[in-house]
Structure 1
Amino acid sequence: MKKTLLLLAVIVMGTSILHAQRPTPPQITISGKIIDAKTKEPLEYATIVLKHVKTKKISGGITDEKGNFSIKTPKGTYEISFEYISFKTKKLPPKLLDKNTNFGVITLAEGSERLDEINIVAEKSTVEIRLDKRIYNVGKDMTVKGGTASDVLDNVPSVNVDVEGNVSLRGNENVRILIDGKPSALVGLSGTDALRQLPADAIERVEVITSPSARYDAEGTAGILNIILRKGKATGFNGSINTTIGDPKQYRVAANINYRTKKINLFTNVGYSKRTGPGNSLTKLSTLENGVVNSLRIEDREFERDRSNYNINLGLEYFLTNKSSLTGTFFLRDADNGSLSNNNISVFDAVGAQTLADIRIQNESETDKTTQFSLNYTNNINKSGHKFTADFQYSDSEEIETAFINDATGIENNITTENSKNTLLQTDYVLPIGESSQFEAGFRGSYQDLTSDFLVTPTLTPDPSNNLVFKQNVNALYSQYGSKIKKFSFLLGLRTEITDVKVRLTNTGDNFDYNYTELFPTVNLGLETSEKQSFTLGYSRRLRRPRFWFLNPFESRNSQNVIFKGNPGLIPTFTNSFDLGYLQKVGKVTLNSSIYYQHSVNNISRVSRDEIRPIGIGGANEIVTIREPINLASEDRYGFELTTNYNPSRKVRLSASFNVFQSETKGFYTYEQFTQDAGGVITSTPVEQDLGNKNSSWFTRFNARITLPAKIQWQTRLFYRGPRETAQSEIKGIFSMNLAFSKDILKEKGTLVFNVSDVFNSRKRQSITYNPSIDNPSSINDQEFQWRVRQISLNFTYRFNQKKNQRNRQRRGGGDDEGGEEFGG
C-alpha cells in the first residue's frame, strides 16, 4: 500500500513538473489598487477586465481584501475597465502594455447603472488554495439548491457525509466544524441533525483546513471545516428569495436580505422548511456455537421522519469610524421533529423454525430550540493590515425528545432532556511587520455547561435511566509569525490549551474529572516555484476530546438487541499530523495533490461485544450486541489525495477528486463475556481481545457542469466510497449520483433549478459486524441502513438589486479572515 501511494505521488508530481518546464509567452504584470471614492476604503473583489484589441480575448482578475491587484498578461494593446457592484465602471482608452505597469490608486464612485455586459471575470474559481486551507465556493453548485449544510459538505473535495450524517475528512470522522471561524450553536448539541437543518442557501463557502494554524482550535485530529455564512455588503437594499418544493414532501422558503448605508450594514438569513424523510434498515443477527448458526433474529425497520424548522440569523454592523465597527448577531432555530418507526421482528432457531414474530412500534417527537447572541468589535488600525478584534458569544440550546415504544414485551416510555449553555470569549491581534511579514496573537475561552436527563418507564433491568452533568472549560493562548521571502512563505505558531472537564453521573454518584495543559505547535511552509506551480508542507499537533454523548453511559433504545452506550472512562486522543501538498496548473487543467500522515495515541474507536440479557417474552434470555467507544493504543493513518479541475471552455467545467488511505490500529479490548449453558445458567469470563488491524479504503468524486442550448446549465455529481474493514466489521462500498438542471429567467433575476439527489436510490450503508472478531465470531450482525430515499426537488431563486455572477465583499473580522492568507498562493 505504501509503495502504491508513493508511486502515485511520484507520477503526478513528476508529470506536472515536466509540463511546467515548457516555455510560456513573455508576460508583463499590471498592478494597482481600487478604493471607494467616498470612504477611501479598499474594494475587495473589484473586477479588472482586459480586452485585447486585436484578438478580442478577455482576461483579467479581481482585487484582494486590501483592494490590491496584480495580473500577469501577454504584451499587447488592451481596452481596460475597472468594475464593482453598485459602482460606476471606469474605462480607459486602448493602451499598449509592453512592460510592467502600475496604475496606482483607482477610485470608483457609487452609481445606479448596471455593469457592462462583460462580468464573467468576477466569477471566482470553485476551489481556491491558501497556505493553510482550501476554499470551496458554494454559489455555483446547483446540486445543493434547496438542500442543507450536510449536502454542501458532501460536495466538498476531501469531505464525505455518510448515510447517518456523520462528517469525515479524508476518511477520518474526527473533524472540527466551525461557523465563521468559531464554535457555534448552529452546529447544535447533536451536530449531524443541526447540519441537516441549516439551509445551504445561507452558506457562502466552506474552508477545508487539513493543516490548521495556531489561530484555530486544536480540536479535530482530521482537521477543520469552517463554514462561512453569507453576509452581503453591497450598498443599498438587495437580496434574494429562495423557495423549494420536493418529493418526498419538502417545502422551504428562505430569504437573504442586506441593507447597507454609510454607517450601518443590516443583513439577515431567514427561512422555514418542512420535509419528510422516509428511510429503512434491515438487521440480521446470527448467533453461532462452534461455528454453526443456532439462532437468527431479523429486524426489518421502516421509519418516517417529519421535520419542520424555522431559523433566523439577524445581524447589524455599525461603523464607528472609517476603521472600526461593532457587529451584533442574533440567531434562533426552532425545530419540531417527529419520527414513526415500525420494526418487524422475526426469530428463528437452529433448524430455521420461526419461534417469534413481533412488531416493535416506536413513536418519537422532538423539540429543538437554540438561541445565540454574538458581538464582534473590529478595529482596522491602518490599511496595511494592522488589526484588533474582540468577540463575545453566548448560546442556549435545549432538546427534548419523547419516545413511546410498544412491542410484545410491553409498553415503554422514555424522555431525554438536554440543555447546553455555551460562552465564548475571543481576542485576536494582527501586526504587519514590513511589507511581507505578520505577527498574530490571541486568546480564546470556551465554556460549556450541559445537562442530559434520560428517564425510562417502567423501570427495566438493567435500568438505562440516567442523569449526566457535563462541564468543559477550555482556555487557549496562541501566537504565530509568518513571512514571505521571494517565493518562499512560512507560518509558524504555538498554541496552549488548558482543559478542565467534569463529568457527574448523579444517578450512580460516579464522578470523573480531567485536567490537562497541552502545547500544540504548527508549521506551514510554502514554495511558489512559478505562477503555476507551488509546494506546501504542514505540521500540526491536534487532539480529540470525548464529546458528552461518548461519555454518557446511557443505552440507546432504538433496538432491543443492538444497543449503543457511552464510556465515561474515555480520555483524549492526541495526533501529530503531516501534510505535503503540490499544486500545478497546466493550461486549463489544475492539479492539486497531497500526501498526508497522522499518528494518534489513545485513539477513540467504536467496538462491539455480546451480552446475554433477559429481554425476551416472559423474561427469556437473549444475546444483545453492545456498541461502545474505547481508547486503543495507537493509530497510524496515511494517504494520497488528488483533485483535478479542467475548464476547457466557459460552457464546460469538470472536476474530480481521488483519495486513497490506509490506517493501522493497535490496541486491546478488555471486557466480560457472558455465556449460557444448557441449563440456562449464565457465567462471565474476562476477555482481552486484540483489535489491531490494517484497513485500506478510497473514495472518488466527479463533478461536471455543462451549458446546454438555451443557456440551460446541467450539473452531474458522481461519488463512490470503496469498501473498508476493521478488526470487527466489513463495510461495503457506496455509490451515489446527483443530477441538476438550471435555467435563468426574468432577465437573469430569477433561476429555476431541478435537482435529483441519489438518482439510483443507492445511498445505503451495508456492513457486517463479527463479535468478538472476524476470525472467531460468536455472533454476526448483517445490517443495511438507508437514512433517506431518493429526493426530487424544484428550486426557484429571485434576486433583487443584484446580478447572478456578482460577488459581494465579505465582512472581515468575524472569523472570516483567519491567519495565513497573507502568505499563500
Structure 2
Amino acid sequence: MKPFPLYLYLNNHNAVTHPFSVIYKLHLPNLMNNKISILSVLFLCIFTASAAAQATTGTISGTVIDKTDGQPLESADITLLSAHDSTVVKGTTTDKDGKFSFSDIPFGTYYVRSNFVGYSTVNAKGIVLSAENKQVTLDPLKLSSGSTTTEEILVETQKSFVQFDGDKKVFNVSQNPMNQSGSLIELLKNIPSVSVDADGNVSLRGNTNVKITVDGRPFGLDGQNRSQLLEQIPANQIESIELVTNPSSKYEAEGVSGIINIVTKKTKVFGYNGNLSLNAGSRDKYNGSLNLNLKSNNTQFFANYSYNINNFVITGGTDRINSLSTTENQFHQNYDGRSRVKSHFLKGGMDYFINPQNTIGLSVTYQNSSRDRGELIDSRAFDISNVLTSSSINDYNVGSKNNTFDAALNHIFKFKNPKQTLTTDAIYSQNNNEEKGFTQENYITPSNQNPGLIQESSNIKDKDFSLQSDYVHPFTEVTKIETGYKVRLRDKKNEYANSQYDYSLNQYVTNANLTNNFEYRDIVSAAYVQFSSAEGIFSYTAGTRVEQTNVRSQLILNNSETKSSYFDVFPSANISAKLGKSNEMQLSYSRRIRRPGMWELNPFVNATDPNNYFSGNPNLKPEYTDSYELSFIQYLPGTSLTPSLFYRHTKNVISRTREFIDSNTTLTTFANYNTSKSFGAELIFNSQPVPFWNINGSVSYYKTEIDASNISSAYVNEGSTWSGRISSSLFLPYQFSLQLNYFYSGDILAAQATVEPFSSFDASLKKELFNGRLTTTLRVSDIFNTLKFKVNINNDMTYREEFERKRDTRVITFGLSYKFGEADKNQQRRRRDSNRENPGNDGFGF
C-alpha cells in the first residue's frame, strides 16, 4: 500500500471582506486553551517526525530488454538526466541481466535515457524521487533493433504534496482525499500562504490583490463574482495549484501579492478514460461531475461537465453607537439571509500534434448559474435616552443569472533545437450578470406610513481579449533568453436602475438619483525580455517588463468622463544557490502594480441603504509594490523545510475609507494612502514519520505598517498577527484514508477596525473499492462551527460599531467517484523524432 499524503498547514486566513485596509495585531491572551493545546501537540508531532530519519536521497533502477524477443541487453548505455534542465546527473551501463541502478540520487524529478548500438533510444520521463517515493523501479525499457527513432515513456509515480519548480511552489492536490468532493474553494483552504474567508474571498500572504488563473488564463476571475466562480469548479478536476509569490518579468505585473494558477487534469496515457462523481451534503447541497478523456498518437480530447446545487444561510447583525448624534444615538440591525444557487460548468478542448514542430490547442469553457436570494433585515434606532425612535423590517428578494464564456487558441512551434520555441496564445472571455430585485420596507415605528416598495435591476457585462507571443532562445543547456509581447483589452459595462412606488400616482417611478450607467475600458500593452543562466552552484534570472496602460471610464448619467494613461517599468531578478545535495537558497525581487478597478472608480453614490452610502473615486491612482523575498529549501531526514522571509513596500495604497455625511449616515469610498510596509516570515514543512502517516504544514507571521496621514493623522498604525494551518493524513488498512485539517488566524487590526480571531476544523474519510475504481468519501467541514467574520470599529470613541456575519459552514458531505475506461498500456509512449520533446503547454507563460 502506498502512503497517502498527510497535510499540516499553519497559515494566515485573512478575513478579506472587511472594507478597510488591513493591519495585523496579535493578542495571545485571547487564544483559547484548547487551541494552544491542539497546536502544541501537532508541533510536537512534527518535530518528532523530523527525528524519524529517512534518507533525503533515493534509488532508481530498471531493466533494458530487446523489444522483439524480450532478451536482456548487456552493456546498454544508461544516462540519468535532470528534468529541469536536462543536465547529466549520472551514467552507467547494464549488467549481463540487462539491469541498472542509480543510488544516492537527491530528491527531485528526472528522466532516464537508454540506448544501445543498432537499437532505438528510449527516454523514461516523469521520474519523481521524494519522501513518498524513495525507490523507483521502472518497467522494462524495450529497445527496437534496427531503429534510430526515440520513444518516450511516461513513468507514473506518487508525487510529493509540495514541489519547487523555479519561482513556483507546486502543490499536488489530486491525491488529496478532499479532492474527491467539494469545490476548488475547499482545496484553496488547505494551501499554505493562501487564505479563504467565510464568503469565499481569496488572499495570498494576507493580501487580497492576488491574480488567479486557470491553466494560465483569467477565465473571468478578475471580476466581482470570482468567489462564486471558484465555488462552481469541481475539486476533482484539479491536478495541482501553483503559487508564484514573486513573479518574474515574463508574467503580467498585475497582482501585488502574486499569482495563483489552477492546473486542471489532462490525461497522460493513451486510450480513453473518465470519471463520474456524485456528492450530497447537508442543508440541501448537491453536485455531480463527469470527466472524459481520449488520447491517440496525434490528438488529445477532453470534456468536463458538472452540475451544482448549493443552498446556504447567512445570519448576522450590526450594533452601532454614535456619540455625535443628538437624535439617534444607537442603531441595531439583525440580518437573516438565504440563498439557492444552481450552476452548470462545461469545459472541452483538444490538442493536435501536427508534426514534431507544430502543435495546436483549443479549449472552450462555459459556466451558467442562477441565484435566488432572500433577506430579512430588522433595523431599530434609539435616541440618547434609549427611547425607540424608528424601526423597520426590510424584506429583500433578488434573482440573478450569470453566464461566463472563455475560449483559448494556442500554437507552439519548435525549431530544430526543441528548447527553442515560439508560442502564440489568443484568449477571449466574456461574463454577463443580470439581476432583478424587490424590496418591501415595512415601517413599524412610526406606524402611520405606507410600506416602501422598491424595484431594482442591474446588468453587468465584461469582455476580455488578449493576444500574446513568447519566444525562447537557448544558447547552451543552462543559458537562454526569453522575450515576448502581450496586449489585453477589457471592456466593462454596469447598468443599474432603481424605481420606487409612488402611492399618489399608483405606479413605480424611476429614481434618477439612484440610477447608474457606468462604462469602463482599459488597454494594457506589454513587452518583456528576460535572461537566465547558471555558473557553478549559482543560477540566476534577470529581466524587465514594460507596460503601457490606457484607461477610460464614463458615468453616463451626468456625462462625466475620466481618462488616464501611464507607462511603467517592472524589473525583476532571481538568484539561487545549491548548497550541497539537499539545500537550496533563493533571493528574488520584483515590482508589481495594482490598478483601480471599475467599482473603485465609479463615482456614482449608491444610497439604496439610507444609513450606509457607497461610492467609488475616479481620481484613484494605481498602487505600486516593490517585493523582496528570501527562501531556503532544506531536506532533512524524512522532512523538508522551506522557511521564507519577505518584505513589501507599497506606495499609493488603494483602500476603503468610511466618513460621516451627517450624524446618522456614513459614506464608504476609496482613497490612496501614502505607504504600506509589510514584513513576513513563513515556514512550510513536509514530514513522514512512518510509512502510513504524512504531515505537511505552514506557520506564518505578518507585520504591517500603514501611513494614511494624508487622509487623517489618526490613520497611522501598525500591527502584527500570526496564523497557522495543519493537516494530517493517515493511510489505514483496507484502503481507508483519513485526513484532518485545522487552521487558526489571530486578530487582524485595520486602520479603523479589528477583525476578531477565527478558526475551523475539517475531517475527511476515504475508502477505495474495486482496485481503486470506486472511491467513497465522507467529509465534515467546520466541525465546531467556529468560522465566522466579526469586526469591531472604534473611531476616536465617538463612533463604535460591531458587525458580525456567519454562514452555515458546518456541512456533512457524502461522495462517490467512479473511474472507467481503459488505457492502452502498450502505448503509454509517444514515438517521436529524436529532436522532439513533449509539446504540452500549460499556457502559464505571460
Fold shared, TM-score > 0.5 on shorter chain: yes
Among 355, 366, 371, the alignment partner of 2:400 is 366
Among 453, 456, 474, the alignment partner of 1:411 is 453
Correspondence for 1:740: 764
Do residues 449 (structure 1) and 505 (structure 2) align? no
Task: Give % identity.
Answer: 25
* CA distance in structure 2 between the partners assigned to 1:477 and 1:734 by the alignment: 43
Do residues 765 (structure 1) and 765 (structure 2) align? no
* CA distance in structure 1 between the partners assigned to 2:128 and 2:158 by the alignment: 15
* CA distance in structure 2 between the partners assigned to 1:267 and 1:339 by the alignment: 35
Residue 669 of structure 1, CA deviation = 5.7
Do residues 423 (structure 1) and 443 (structure 2) align? no
Among 369, 372, 379, the alignment partner of 2:413 is 379
Q: Aligned pair in 2 of structure 1 residues 32, 165: CA closer, same or farther (>3 Å)?
A: farther
Correspondence for 1:96: none
* CA distance in structure 2 between the partners assigned to 1:528 and 1:759 by the alignment: 43
* CA distance in structure 2 between the partners assigned to 1:109 and 1:160 by the alignment: 38
- Bigger relative CO (Cα 8 Å, ≥ 6 apart): 2
Give the 3-state SS of the residue equivalent to 1:228 in structure 2: strand
Correspondence for 1:790: 810
* CA distance in structure 2 between the partners assigned to 1:808 and 1:456 by the alignment: 62
Do residues 703 (structure 1) and 711 (structure 2) align? no
Residue 159 of structure 1, CA deviation = 0.6
User: After superposition, what is the alpha-carbon deviation per residue over 1:216-260, rounded to whole angstroms, capped at 9, x for unaligned?
Assistant: 100011111111122223211112111111112111111121101
Letter paired with 2:660: D
Among 310, 334, 351, the alignment partner of 2:344 is 310
Correspondence for 1:729: 753
Q: Aligned pair in 2 of structure 1 residues 557, 242: CA closer, same or farther (>3 Å)?
A: farther
Residue 504 of structure 1, CA deviation = 0.6
Letter paired with 1:247: S
Correspondence for 1:618: none
Aligned length: 734
User: After superposition, what is the alpha-carbon deviation per residue over 1:329-348, rounded to whole angstroms, capped at 9, x for unaligned?
Assistant: 11111111111111122223
Alignment of 1:1-40 (within 5 A): none
Correspondence for 2:673: 632
Residue 610 of structure 1, CA deviation = 2.0
Residue 289 of structure 1, CA deviation = 3.9
Q: Aligned pair in 2 of structure 1 residues 636, 187: CA closer, same or farther (>3 Å)?
A: closer
* CA distance in structure 1 between the partners assigned to 2:800 and 2:793 by the alignment: 6
Correspondence for 1:651: 692
Alignment of 1:248-397 (within 5 A): 248-289=283-324, 295-382=329-416, 384-397=418-431
Letter paired with 2:315: N
| Structure 1 residue runs without a partner (length 5+) | 5-11, 84-88, 93-103, 111-118, 613-621, 671-687, 820-825
Among 765, 779, 790, the alignment partner of 2:799 is 779
Among 95, 115, 138, the alignment partner of 1:82 is 138
Correspondence for 1:160: 195
* Equivalent residues of 1:669, 1:690 under 8 A apart: no
* Equivalent residues of 2:215, 2:844 under 8 A apart: no
Residue 714 of structure 1, CA deviation = 0.6
Correspondence for 1:208: 243
Do residues 591 (structure 1) and 641 (structure 2) align? yes
Residue 191 of structure 1, CA deviation = 1.6
Residue 162 of structure 1, CA deviation = 1.4
Give the 3-state SS of the residue equivalent to 2:486 in structure 1: strand
Give the 3-state SS of the residue equivalent to 1:530 in structure 2: coil
* CA distance in structure 1 between the partners assigned to 2:821 and 2:106 by the alignment: 26
The runs of 4+ residues in structure 1 deviating greater than 6 Å are 22-34, 42-45, 56-61, 69-73, 459-462, 807-811
User: After superposition, what is the alpha-carbon deviation per residue over 1:714-735, rounded to whole angstroms, capped at 9, x for unaligned?
Assistant: 1011011110212210111111
TM-score (norm 1): 0.82
* CA distance in structure 2 between the partners assigned to 1:808 and 1:791 by the alignment: 43
* Equivalent residues of 2:60, 2:135 under 8 A apart: no
Letter paired with 2:435: E
* CA distance in structure 2 between the partners assigned to 1:58 and 1:638 by the alignment: 37
Q: Aligned pair in 2 of structure 1 residues 68, 176: CA closer, same or farther (>3 Å)?
A: same
Residue 28 of structure 1, CA deviation = 8.9
Q: Aligned pair in 2 of structure 1 residues 406, 557: CA closer, same or farther (>3 Å)?
A: farther
Residue 405 of structure 1, CA deviation = 1.1
Letter paired with 1:798: Y
Letter paired with 2:721: S
* Equivalent residues of 1:704, 1:716 under 8 A apart: yes
Give the 3-state SS of the residue equivalent to 2:734 in structure 1: helix
Correspondence for 1:7: none
Q: Aligned pair in 2 of structure 1 residues 25, 178: CA closer, same or farther (>3 Å)?
A: closer
Say which is worse superposed, 311-320 or 689-698, in terms of deviation. Answer: 689-698
* Equivalent residues of 1:311, 1:334 under 8 A apart: yes
Correspondence for 1:228: 263
* CA distance in structure 2 between the partners assigned to 1:331 and 1:503 by the alignment: 29
Give the 3-state SS of the residue equivalent to 2:665 in structure 1: strand
* CA distance in structure 2 between the partners assigned to 1:623 and 1:510 by the alignment: 29
* Equivalent residues of 1:61, 1:122 under 8 A apart: no
Q: Aligned pair in 2 of structure 1 residues 251, 696: CA closer, same or farther (>3 Å)?
A: same
Q: Aligned pair in 2 of structure 1 residues 808, 354: CA closer, same or farther (>3 Å)?
A: farther
Residue 294 of structure 1, CA deviation = 6.2
Do residues 141 (structure 1) and 176 (structure 2) align? yes
* CA distance in structure 1 between the partners assigned to 2:400 and 2:588 by the alignment: 43
Q: Aligned pair in 2 of structure 1 residues 32, 623: CA closer, same or farther (>3 Å)?
A: farther
Residue 209 of structure 1, CA deviation = 0.6
* Equivalent residues of 2:129, 2:135 under 8 A apart: no
Letter paired with 1:308: K
* CA distance in structure 2 between the partners assigned to 1:652 and 1:382 by the alignment: 47
